[in-house]
Amino acid sequence: MQPTQGKLHLGNLEGALRNWVKLQEEYDMFACIVDWHALTTMIERPEEITENSFGVAVDYLAAGLDPEKTVIFIQSQVKEHAELYLLFSMVTPLGWLERVPTFKEKRDSLTAGAEASHGLLGYPVLQAADILLYRPYGVPVGKDQVPHLELTREIARRFNYLYGDTLPEIANVLSDIPVMIGLDGRKMSKSYDNAIYIADSDDETAKKIMSAYTDPKKIRKDDPGHPEGCAVFSLHSVYNRENADNVEKECRAGARGCVSCKRECIESVITNLAPMRERRAELVKDPGQVFRVLEQGADRARAVAGETMADVRKSMGLL
């Protein structure tokens, strides 16, 4: 994940972290905090990235990633990422990068007067290096993210065609990832400022949910509601699953008001997140513990990355 902010929201938690915690019981996992990627949009504020990286690491651990099972590290602490990125950039046709939809989206989202950088264009090449450096079986993704990994496979195929079989054909480790609707009805996102964060206090969480977008057609309590697209029902479906069907039924029948619905939602969200938030508060009080996890993770990552780079150099005939 990118440390563009120092904290992760519930979309990150439910869309990725929960799944990672499960997968670490089945696989050897590498969970990287990609600080170099963050430079594509934060080049004028690089000093924020270090602090943000610490916050993301805290959220990783609070969510349940176990450093004994998962290698947790910061991208820039493993220089092999940069070396493999450079070598991949030599074999990746420019046309491949110009066709990547996310490049166009990121370019269009730049502030007025800002120009797209070489790093922004080469973002998918660095992503391919981040993945293939550990020669993994696969990458955990939701179905909507599968196209983003295809370029990584294409780069691996081209490298293997040129220099012999060195890199794996990665698999998509698919999971049914719920799309968390943000407080304004759009997808939950840091950039939309519509998110509830793991680090939020109970009061902040309650205030945000009470202000959340519901159904503009449901003006009175007995008006039939439409849960689809409702930010509050999206939270119910994840954090109040045992009663979500009843919430939906009462909403559609006009037997439930939005205020009482929000109050029940607040209680469910806060109760569900309480253990995680308690762990987070303890970790923040002991930053040394977090930095030790990151240092040990970087050591373990470098060991694997070094083996990969030795094979890559050998395949290419480099000294």
- Check 190, 208, 221, 285 and give the catalytic one: 190
pLDDT tens track, the chain, 319 positions: 999 888 999 999 998 999 999 999 999 999 999 999 999 888 889 999 999 999 999 999 999 999 999 999 999 999 999 999 999 999 999 999 988 877 766 666 666 567 778 888 899 999 999 999 999 999 998 777 787 799 999 999 999 999 999 999 999 998 776 678 999 999 899 888 999 999 999 999 999 999 998 988 888 888 999 998 899 999 999 999 999 999 999 999 999 999 999 999 999 999 999 999 999 999 999 999 999 999 999 999 999 999 999 999 999 999 8
Residue extent(s) of CATH 3.40.50.620 domains in the chain: 10-178+286-316
Does residue 106 have an active-site annotation? yes
pLDDT score for 116: 78
- Check 187, 217, 285, 314 and give the catalytic one: 187
pLDDT score for 108: 67
Distance, in Å, from the CA atom of 257 to the CA atom of 265, rounded to the nearest integer, reads 12
- Check 106, 208, 221, 314 and give the catalytic one: 106
In CATH, 10-178+286-316 is 3.30.300.30: no
pTM: 0.92
pLDDT score for 111: 63
Residue extent(s) of CATH 1.10.240.10 domains in the chain: 202-280
pLDDT score for 6: 84
List helix spans (H) across the chain. 10-12, 18-23, 35-42, 47-63, 80-91, 94-98, 101-108, 118-121, 123-132, 146-163, 202-210, 231-239, 241-253, 258-285, 287-316
Does residue 190 have an active-site annotation? yes
Q: Residues 202-280: name the CATH superfamily.
A: Tyrosyl-Transfer RNA Synthetase (1.10.240.10)
Distance, in Å, from the CA atom of 31 to the CA atom of 291, rounded to the nearest integer, reads 15
CB-based burial of residue 31 (10 Å sphere; 0-12 exposed, 13-18 middle, 19+ buried)?
buried
What are phi and psi for residue 72, nearest 5 degrees? -110, 120
Strand, coil or helix: 301: helix
Distance, in Å, from the CA atom of 287 to the CA atom of 39, rounded to the nearest integer, reads 24
CB of 31 closer than 8 Å to CB of 71: yes
pLDDT score for 221: 86
State how far the alpha carbon of 271 is from the alpha carbons of 46, 108, 232, 237, 268, in Å: 36, 40, 16, 15, 5
pLDDT score for 125: 96
Does residue 221 have an active-site annotation? no
